[in-house]
Amino acid sequence: MLKRVVQLSFLLIGGTLGVLFLPQLFDLFTFSSKPLINNPYVAAITGGLVFFVVAGFLITPVVNLIKWMEDRLLGMPIFDLLFGTIGLVVGLSIAFLLSFWLESSELPFISSVLPTVFFVILGYLGFQVGFKQREEMIHAIQAVKAPAQKKKSGEDTSVTKTRGTMYKILDTSVIIDGRIADISATGFLEGVLVVPQFVLTELQHIADSSDTLKRTKGRRGLDVLKTLQQEEGSEILITDTDFAEVAEVDLKLVHLAKNMGGLVVTNDFNLNKVADLHGVSVLNINDLANAVKPVVIPGEEMHVVVIKDGKEHHQGIAYLDDGTMIVVEEGKNYIGKAIDVVVTSVLQTSAGRMIFAKPKNDKSSK
């Protein structure tokens, strides 16, 4: 069907050009009698036939080009097309207004050529601006609508405005970790969760890895994102904004956080340091996990199970339900047993919290 449409288009173009230019072309030659080509019908048929023959050589490349453009357009998100089209219309409108001003010029080049140049350049720039700045436009519209809606409901508009601009940019490590879904479900994480396309690409590569462990982590990360999208009350924004000149994903996250005025959510220690150097705020899931662990003070009694021996002589190792390590002095003899211990000290390190304890008495094992 598409091939027939292209062939018909070539016939119409050839017929139109034949009527417009073939009589003028033959006027340049001297004939003893008026050539038949001066007849508009004959000129249209001749032009159409010429272009039909030319179409035989160009039909395949033209059809392939149209199909390629169709696939690209169908693969684009609807908002990309919408805002790109709006930008294109604005650019062409500006070019149309400028063409009126240029028509008053007496120079043929300015009055005839420059309007076409303006239409091409401004149309292209308008589409690019509308396409690449679509997210900012959406955010601006939401920022304008949110205060009005909150005002109607009697809430404080200043609080609404602050919440509307809270963007939490997720990195690959925090998505794979999975705890972000549980935190979001509790409602403690406010604002919009932003997932950059380059993070999704990295996650896809991990999910397609030949290594079984990496493949499992990547697929778990994709499942976590699906869970976040399906949760009520959590807003997920997938952005195509990229920084082609930056190779490192961590730096791309930092630049995106600066552009959006948001925070980076991660559990990557190195990314945390890089973001701090660039003045970007970070929410570290590991810091949150350490902060919500139960507070343990020296002298407190606990009931634990010693599961293995420690590094030092006669030490035993136990764990709390949240994974906190307990080093039990003289606990090697209690491996595999549940005993009561007394906390002697608590050590907070970058890797987490470590508790030191000693058996309450030698006869407390069960």
Q: Is residue 146 part of a domain?
A: no
Specify whether the CB–CB gap between 93 and 130 falls below 8 A: no
- Return the structure tokens found at 345: 């000290």
**110-137, pLDDT tens digit by residue?**
666 677 777 888 888 887 887 777 667 7
pTM of structure: 0.46
Q: CA angle, 59 as apex, 57 and 64 as ends, to 5°?
A: 125
Specify whether the CB–CB gap between 266 and 249 falls below 8 A: no
Q: Which residue has the higher pLDDT, 48 or 333?
A: 333
The mean predicted confidence, pLDDT, of the chain is 77
Work out the angle between the directed axes of helices 40-75 and 2-27 (0-180°, nearest 10): 140
Q: Is residue 91 part of a domain?
A: no
> Residues 44-67: what's their mean pLDDT?
75
pLDDT band at 23 (very low <50, low <70, confident <90, very high): low
Judgement on whether residues 256 and 328 belong to the same structural domain of the protein: no
Q: Is residue 328 part of a domain?
A: yes
Separation of alpha carbons 206 and 216, rounded Å: 8
pLDDT at 197 over 50: yes
List beta partners, residue 264: 169, 282
Q: Is residue 130 part of a domain?
A: no
Q: Is residue 213 part of a domain?
A: yes
**6-20, pLDDT tens digit by residue?**
767 777 777 777 677
- Return the structure tokens found at 62: 């033209």
pLDDT at 162 over 50: no
Q: Is residue 180 part of a domain?
A: yes
**213-230, pLDDT tens digit by residue?**
888 988 998 998 888 888
> Residues 161-179: what's their mean pLDDT?
76
What DSSP state is assigned to residue 36? G
Q: Is residue 96 part of a domain?
A: no
Specify whether the CB–CB gap between 10 and 51 falls below 8 A: yes
For residue 347, the tally of other CB atoms under 10 A from its CB is 11
> What's the domain range around 61?
1-71
Judgement on whether residues 305 and 285 belong to the same structural domain of the protein: no
Task: Quote the pLDDT of residue 160.
Answer: 38
Judgement on whether residues 325 and 242 belong to the same structural domain of the protein: no
Q: Is residue 153 part of a domain?
A: no
Task: Quote the pLDDT of residue 341.
Answer: 92
Task: Quote the pLDDT of residue 100.
Answer: 75
**279-315, pLDDT tens digit by residue?**
888 888 888 877 777 778 888 888 999 998 888 888 8
The tally of domains found in the chain comes to 3
Judgement on whether residues 258 and 215 belong to the same structural domain of the protein: yes
Separation of alpha carbons 328 and 202, rounded Å: 42
Phi-psi region of 184 (alpha: psi -120 to 50; beta: other; left: phi over 0): alpha
CATH code assigned at 328: 2.40.50.140
Q: Which residue has the higher pLDDT, 78 or 282?
A: 282
Least confident of 40-54, 151-165, 177-191, 286-300: 151-165
Judgement on whether residues 271 and 318 belong to the same structural domain of the protein: no
Judgement on whether residues 278 and 347 belong to the same structural domain of the protein: no
pLDDT at 241 over 70: yes
Judgement on whether residues 188 and 239 belong to the same structural domain of the protein: yes
pLDDT at 180 over 80: yes
Separation of alpha carbons 356 and 327, rounded Å: 5
Task: Quote the pLDDT of residue 214.
Answer: 87
Question: Among all chains, which residue has been given the structure tokens 């634990």?
Answer: 304
Separation of alpha carbons 48 and 14, rounded Å: 4
Helix (H) or strand (E) holding 177: helix 172-177
Q: Which residue has the higher pLDDT, 13 or 277?
A: 277
> Residues 74-88: what's their mean pLDDT?
76
Task: Quote the pLDDT of residue 318.
Answer: 92
